Amino acid sequence: MQQVWANNVTTSGVNYASMLNTGNFVLARQDYVNLWESFNAPIDTILPTQVPNQGGILVSHVSETNYSSGNFQFLLQSDGDLVLSLVDVTHNFVRYKYWESNTLGTGF
């Protein structure tokens, strides 16, 4: 058997996993407390009911069949600005901001 996915839950006590109607995949305890949820760990997709977390980054993939990190990242900065950037994947730095919401300091 080959492992195809793993989460970063270090807390024991996961009793079940569930895909909610919202598209959120959760790992929960017996008392329905979520220990981990996919909406808090987006990678390359955000769904209509999902609210991005501050500091959360979505990263494009190279192509439809190559899921390696691509050249764009979408970031909700801690100051409230939403930014789409072109990144240098090889050297792991932002080349320039392609677009930004200019919502810096106006709330979330």
Residue 108: give its domain's CATH number.
Answer: 2.90.10.10
Question: Which pLDDT score is estimated for 18?
Answer: 93
CB 58 within 8 A of CB 42: yes
Please tell me the distance from the alpha carbon of residue 88 to that of residue 94, in angstroms, as a whole number: 6
Whether 28 and 48 share a structural domain = no
Per-residue pLDDT reduced to its tens digit, 21-80: 988 999 999 999 999 888 888 788 888 888 888 888 888 988 999 988 899 999 888 888
Domain that holds residue 3: 1-41
Question: Which pLDDT score is estimated for 8?
Answer: 67
Residue 106 has pLDDT above 80, yes or no: no
Residue 95 has pLDDT above 60, yes or no: yes
Per-residue pLDDT reduced to its tens digit, 66-94: 988 899 999 888 888 889 999 998 887 88
Whether 74 and 95 share a structural domain = yes
Number of domains in the chain: 2
pLDDT category of residue 10 using cuts at 50, 70 and 90:
low
Question: Which pLDDT score is estimated for 26?
Answer: 92
Question: Which pLDDT score is estimated for 105?
Answer: 72
Structure-model confidence comparison of residues 68 and 7, the more confident one: 68
Whether 53 and 79 share a structural domain = yes
Whether 14 and 57 share a structural domain = no
